[in-house]
A and B are shown apart, each in its own frame.
Chain A
């Protein structure tokens, strides 16, 4: 069990800055997911924490102790790798026992630990097999088992599920979550998959170009992204972005999407958005809040579009259309698949809109709708990640 702290952590490979000024505090027992597109520095950050990559500047602390130059073995952490990195010539048992053996544990202790963990992970029957005789999912379990056996202060996961098929990935996600609940050990988990991040994390650290873009709980990040990048990265389908402008009119504020479509902005937001009248802005809206069909309330803002494709997903369907030259997606009823190729009204729920300052790509912060009166922390502060957890 351990707290992990990064203070101004930097990594440079020659002229390339891979990780830039990352500051973050991970609480004891917390499950933190580093997520971002490839090349954003998340794996490098993890490898620095593991001691596999020397740091260029800054500090890494484990339980308050600076471990910058400590060898991996002296950090008391365990790591699960994307390729699983099981020793191919050793049996599952020996793979799991290797770390303890290197530590100089006695045979009885090793045996007890390996068998306990194998039991916990349901791999007792595989102990005598070699890795090549295992399926992807089994290898994954063994890799986790190897980490668990050591009973480390923290677990590091580097894209552990990337090599599994979708169904197995979903299953392993649940198991990892259960495991964390059961063990309560600090976990730092790297993935490029935002769904993994959303489902697993207590807190998500979203990285881009070596910097931390936002640190937040999954739902907070989903509902209150601070930048256009975060808004676009988190959530499936991807958030819709549409160039727009704000203008005064109709006794309030209007969001103009096209020469013919201007929608009234809810009063609660108008006061905040007023500052952006006449400035280049973008509308960010999720498909969930862009619904095909006439609104129940005729006063709700809506506009006509030509639906190009309708994709049923079971419980609902997604409709795709082009508006002002931008491809957008909207939610629709799975019964509406026949609407493809036809005109339909799309209702937009501007209570859930995000206004993006087109110059800075930042989302204009709005107080949460009464439920949480807290104002969103300014971006500079978020980058330093010093916001308290939970």
Chain B
């Protein structure tokens, strides 16, 4: 403080300024922070608050009708078995199954890619490939691969004798499974990246010690690998679950709004349908706020249950 005063006085002497135009030095911090704060508030907080505000209204998408109805939109959700509750259930099935599979495939792949073999660098690159393919390309590719009359998957399954009759992947019964499989393929590299990075930091001597201690491969995984990657898996599962629970593009591009889409109408899809299909922006906003709150509550529970304050 003293320094600042001294400095200010020095400047005063050499270059006198009118008193009123000086900004106290400690304000400069706020001034310099302001653009970033305004940006964050404007781009993140404002839309969230605005969407909550809309959710309190009966509002049509195009017509200039906006009536304040309080929490009626939310109350309506509770009775909306066909839309809300069913969407919640489908979304949970999709997210939990997909994240589960992504974990199994991703961790296994990461462990494979952590071994040393010829062409490892290439294999690591290839493993990340699905994550980089644009979603629309994934969907087009997979629609061909999974096609039940000319898809390569049908051919492979039949040629190898695994199935006799072609599986209709895009049927009401199977479309959820198909989407889970496709999303696993697309997003498991996310798990690979995080897990592999952690695996590479594990001291190989830990495995040597475990071998000498008499632990076989499974016990080494359980007693050495798993505790080491636990923390990173914690974050990966949290992120992946939130991403998958709010997944829109993949499901929408695959199944659309009606027809097949009905069988995978998860909450994000339902929210879209309500807002831009039925043009009920107020109800749609209530859905999206609910979705948001559910994720917040989920995160809090997740942290309290699984997070032990433990740094390895």
Q: Please give the residue numbers on chain A whose beta carbons come within 8 Å of chain B beta carbons, in ascending order.
A: 47, 50-52, 71-73, 77-79, 81-83, 85-90, 98-99, 102-103, 132, 146, 150
Contacts and interface: CB of A to CB of B under 8 A. Distances in A.
Contacts of B205: 81-83, 85
B238 to A, nearest CB: 20
B197 to A, nearest CB: 17
Contacts of B213: 73, 98-99, 102, 146, 150
Contacts of B224: 87
Contacts of B227: 87-90
B228 A77 contact: no
A72 B228 contact: no
Contacts of B206: 85, 87
Given A73-B214, A81-B209, 15 more contacts: A51-B212, A52-B208, A52-B211, A71-B211, A72-B212, A79-B209, A79-B212, A81-B208, A87-B223, A88-B228, A88-B312, A89-B227, A89-B310, A98-B213, A102-B213
Nearest to A131: B312
Contact of B203 (A52, A83, A90): A83
A79 B208 contact: yes
Nearest to A47: B208
Contact of A73 (B212, B310, B312): B212
A102 B209 contact: no
Contacts of B168: none
Question: Which 9 A-B pairs give the minimum distances between C-beta atoms?
Answer: A73-B214, A102-B214, A85-B209, A89-B227, A85-B205, A99-B213, A81-B205, A72-B211, A72-B212
Contacts of A150: 213
A83 B227 CA distance: 18
Nearest to A71: B211
A65 B285 CA distance: 76
B253 to A, nearest CB: 42
Interface string B82-119: 00000000000000000000000000000000000000
A103 B214 contact: yes
B212 A52 contact: yes
Interface string B207-237: 0111111110001000110011010000000
A98 B223 contact: yes
A146 B209 CA distance: 10
B118 to A, nearest CB: 11
A85 B210 CA distance: 9
Chain A CB within 10 Å — which of B209, B211, B223 has the most? B209
A293 B187 CA distance: 79
Contacts of A72: 211-212, 214
A102 B219 contact: yes
Contact of B211 (A73, A82, A103): A73
A85 B208 CA distance: 8
20 contacts: A50-B208, A72-B214, A78-B212, A79-B212, A85-B206, A85-B209, A86-B209, A87-B209, A87-B227, A88-B227, A98-B210, A98-B213, A98-B215, A102-B213, A102-B214, A102-B219, A103-B214, A132-B311, A132-B312, A146-B209
A102 B211 contact: no
B210 to A, nearest CB: 8
Chain A CB within 10 Å — which of B206, B208, B230, B310 has the most? B208
Contacts of A85: 203, 205-206, 208-209
Contacts of A99: 212-214
A102 B219 CA distance: 9
Interface in B175-206: 203, 205-206
Contacts of A51: 211-212
Nearest to B208: A52
Nearest to B219: A102
A85 B224 CA distance: 11
A251 B210 CA distance: 68
Contacts of B210: 87, 98
Given A81-B205, A83-B205, A50 B212 contact: yes
A141 to B, nearest CB: 15
A249 to B, nearest CB: 60
Interface in B216-265: 219, 223-224, 227-228, 230
Contacts of A79: 208-209, 212
Contacts of B208: 47, 50, 52, 79, 81, 85
Contacts of B209: 79, 81, 85-87, 146
A81 B212 CA distance: 11
A130 to B, nearest CB: 8
B221 to A, nearest CB: 13
A150 B213 CA distance: 9
Contacts of B310: 89
A73 B212 CA distance: 5
B227 to A, nearest CB: 4
A146 B214 CA distance: 13
Contacts of A90: 227
Contacts of B223: 87, 98
